[in-house]
Amino acid sequence: MGPMAPWTVAMNTALELAEQALAGGDVPVGAVVLDRDGRVLATAHNRCEVDRDPTAHAEVLALRAAAAATGDVRLEGCTLVVTLEPCTMCAGAVVLSRVARVVLGAWDPKAGACGSVRDVVRDSRLNHRAEVVGGVEEERSARLLREFFAARR
């Protein structure tokens, strides 16, 4: 069993959610929040276009739902599994919610904030840092995004 194996099931769920975002005309990104024991607390997909809300990113929606499910804004010990590397806004939400780990599919070389362009989640100047595990189901995540943007051009 490789190092990515523990996250594959959750990433497959996130990819299914990304497909739902695609069906609604949104950028295909899905997110899952797992508790410290690996149980699903919350799921979401991008809803910016559907909700006409620029902050309705999958990560933000999943973190909100997880906080509601636990009754706590601090998601200590939790893992955020997401198909695309979080942007600066979502990385800030990771820090503020104190998520322990971010597991991502595709890296975002244009706007990523978990190590590619910026590294908000591991910035030593902030009050919390999260572990980053990248490249889980990377090709599937990247392909979904490439196809979405190619169809838009």
As annotated, the binding site for Zn(2+) includes: 57, 87, 90
Q: Which fold has domain 7-151?
A: Cytidine Deaminase; domain 2 (3.40.140)
What pLDDT is stored for residue 94 in this prediction? 98
Verify whether residue 139 is a known catalytic residue. no
- Residues 3, 15, 85, CA angle at the centre, nearest 5°? 65
As annotated, the binding site includes: 57, 87, 90
Domain range list for the chain: 7-151
What pLDDT is stored for residue 2 in this prediction? 54
Which residues are CB-neighbours of 137 under 8 A, at least 6 positions away?
A: 4, 8, 11, 12, 15, 83, 105
What is residue 106's three-state secondary structure? strand
Residue 64's pLDDT band, with cuts at 50, 70 and 90, is very high
Q: Which of 59, 76, 131, 137 is catalytic?
A: 59
Q: What average pLDDT score do residues 77-86 get?
A: 98
What are the pLDDT digits (tens) for 14-60?
A: 999 999 999 999 999 999 999 999 999 999 999 999 999 999 999 99
